[in-house]
Amino acid sequence: MRRLFYKPENAWVGDLIPYYENGTYYGFYLHDPRIRDKEYAEETTWHLIETKDFVNLDYKGESIARGGIHDANKNAYTGSVIKCEKDGLYHVFYTAYNEDFKLRGKTIQSVMQATGKNLENLETVKDFLFVSDGKQYEEFDWRDPFVFWNDEDQCYYMLLASRVTNRGDLRGGCIALCKSEDLINWTYEKPFYDPKMYITMECPELFKMGEYWYLVFSTFSDQFTTHYRISKNWNGPWEIPDDDVFDTRADYAIKTASDGKRRFAFGWIASKYGNTDFGPWEWGGTMNFHEIIQNSKNGELRIKAIPEVLDYFSKEIELKKETLYNCKMVQAQDGVSVESDTLGALLYPLEGDTFALDMVIKPERYHEFGIALHVDKELETGYFLRMNPKNQLVAWDMWPRGEQGRYQWQIKGDVPYQIETARKLPKAEEYRVHIIKEKDICVVYINDEIVLSTRMYNHKDGYAGIYVVQGDVKLIQYKEKRSE
């Protein structure tokens, strides 16, 4: 059966390395077979998909083979793609990793290069191995090379996830800089970005959009997410925007690609161990795409659904009779109002786990309001998108929140929502919400500004709708759609 969100058979999607050329987006990705339980990114190679619309994906197979057990590239990890005008070849720089290659008892990382006349046939350059200097930068974090041509400096730049030597474990991360004139010989330069904030900053990327430059990187220490920084210059200074992340913790290691007019985010929605809501997040998951839009006034970036992805669910379903929970429903000219003195909900029957929901919600008076998904009639089980403009917070909650303990109170009442899904809710008079649900994947877009991606394993079918705590909320639009 056709799937909107791509995952290879018997394997999982790791970091994506996007590239655009001549109307086609190339999505290289780390192919993780998960050969042993609770071990990730072992025997990893580069595989490739191609797409023009982010709905129809063409799998091309393995693009870069890994080395043998005695080679530095026993595992092939994240990197970047660049086309050299001089030799007409595509040059791919990627992270090589072999746990048996050690220095002072710690495993090192290095950079290798693959080349080819086309993107589907790339061969590793056997005599190219680029390692850290061990003086300015540690040897143990030397990965995710992002290579680009710098017009101003008239040479190639390589940005890497690295760490400054002789720093503490938690704040030593930096984005290293190396330079080259020929893509072969590289010099070590001062760090490109050194905020002294993180363990390391993975998957760095630099791009220009309009009048602004953007530095993108992912972290797993203070917050598990992909960040961005803004500047009017390619070399900074870099400003932290008010909302500096693209998505939730579930959608990690986001990188981008552009056709010169539109820019898209490529990431992966992590799976959870044991295929249960109560399991820990894993490394690797399922491919995910968003469109990035820019506020030209201040340069801040926003996320919206790709129109072609929304059009995938084109068949509108006739709604079945609604169910009310502890509320009064009042018909209005532009929708229905849901009123309750405590907790109330307006719910519509929902079948299956693959669909799209389009809602327009206008909060009039509330302590809290939000969206219920895959809930039962009594709101005892299911998922709740908790929306609170007063605190500018939106996050997923679920019941039950975990396995019931021995005592009645052991139900995780001290964890009021899934903190790793929390986003900053935009201020607005009404909220236009797109929910895309396919099997255990759920992606929510709000007002073409923010997105919340997550997994939902435990609950299916049931009901969907809106809820309110002490107040009244108007539901202006509610549409359920399925794919043809």
Q: How far apart are the C-alpha atoms of 453 and 445, rounded to whole Å?
A: 9
Residues 364 and 447 in one domain: yes
Token digits for 112? 């290798």
How many residues are present in the chain? 484
Residue range 99-110, pLDDT digits in tens: 999 888 889 999
CATH code of residue 195: 2.115.10.20
Name which of 350, 346, 349 is nearest 369 in CA terms.
Answer: 346
DSSP conformational letter for 401: -
| Residue pair 227/219 in contact by the 8 Å Cβ criterion | yes
Residues 248 and 378 in one domain: no
Q: Among all chains, which residue has been given the structure tokens 């970036």?
A: 301
- Answer whether residue 48 is part of any domain: yes
Residue range 65-90, pLDDT digits in tens: 999 999 999 999 999 999 999 999 99
Triad 280, 284, 288: Cα angle to 5°: 110
Residue range 28-70, pLDDT digits in tens: 999 999 999 999 999 999 999 999 999 999 999 999 999 999 9
| Residue pair 354/429 in contact by the 8 Å Cβ criterion | no
Task: Provide the whole-model pTM.
Answer: 0.97
- Answer whether residue 417 is part of any domain: yes
Name which of 153, 172, 170, 151 is nearest 161 in CA terms.
Answer: 172
- Give me the pLDDT at residue 102, please: 87
Q: How far apart are the C-alpha atoms of 361 and 357, rounded to whole Å?
A: 12
Residues 306 and 325 in one domain: no
- Domain holding 381, by residue range, is 317-482
Residue 273: strand, helix, or coil: helix
Residues 303 and 404 in one domain: no
Residue type, 412: K
- Answer whether residue 325 is part of any domain: yes
Query: When comparing pLDDT for 147 and 296, which is higher?
Result: 147
pLDDT at 1 over 80: no
Residues 108 and 150 in one domain: yes
Residues 360 and 301 in one domain: no
- Answer whether residue 454 is part of any domain: yes
Residues 153 and 235 in one domain: yes
Name which of 153, 172, 150, 154 is nearest 163 in CA terms.
Answer: 172
- Answer whether residue 67 is part of any domain: yes
Token digits for 58? 């063409």
Residues 275 and 169 in one domain: yes
Residues 100 and 224 in one domain: yes
Token digits for 228? 């961005």
What's the rounded mean pLDDT across residues 182-192?
98
Residues 345 and 290 in one domain: no
CATH code of residue 381: 2.60.120.560
What total of structural domains would you count in the chain?
2
Residues 323 and 244 in one domain: no
Residue 75: strand, helix, or coil: strand
- Answer whether residue 2 is part of any domain: no
**Dihedral (Cα; 396, 399, 401, 406), 10-degree rounding:** 170
Q: How far apart are the C-alpha atoms of 47 and 8, rounded to whole Å?
A: 10
Buried b (16+ CB within 10 A) or exposed e, 188-220: eeebbbbbebbbbbbbbbbbebeebbbbbbbbb
Name which of 147, 219, 214, 209 is nearest 176 in CA terms.
Answer: 147
Residues 477 and 382 in one domain: yes
Buried b (16+ CB within 10 A) or exposed e, 88-105: ebbbbbbbbbbeebeeee
Q: Which of 289, 311, 333 is the last residue of a domain?
A: 311
Residue range 188-233, pLDDT digits in tens: 999 999 999 999 999 999 999 999 999 999 999 989 999 999 999 9
Q: How far apart are the C-alpha atoms of 80 and 18, rounded to whole Å?
A: 8
- Answer whether residue 127 is part of any domain: yes
Token digits for 162? 């690295």
Token digits for 211? 């009048």
Name which of 53, 39, 40, 38 is nearest 14 in CA terms.
Answer: 40
407's CB contacts (< 8 A; 6+ apart) are none
Residue range 445-456, pLDDT digits in tens: 999 999 999 999
- Answer whether residue 6 is part of any domain: no
Q: Which of 311, 335, 370 is the last residue of a domain?
A: 311
Q: Which of 311, 332, 360 is the last residue of a domain?
A: 311
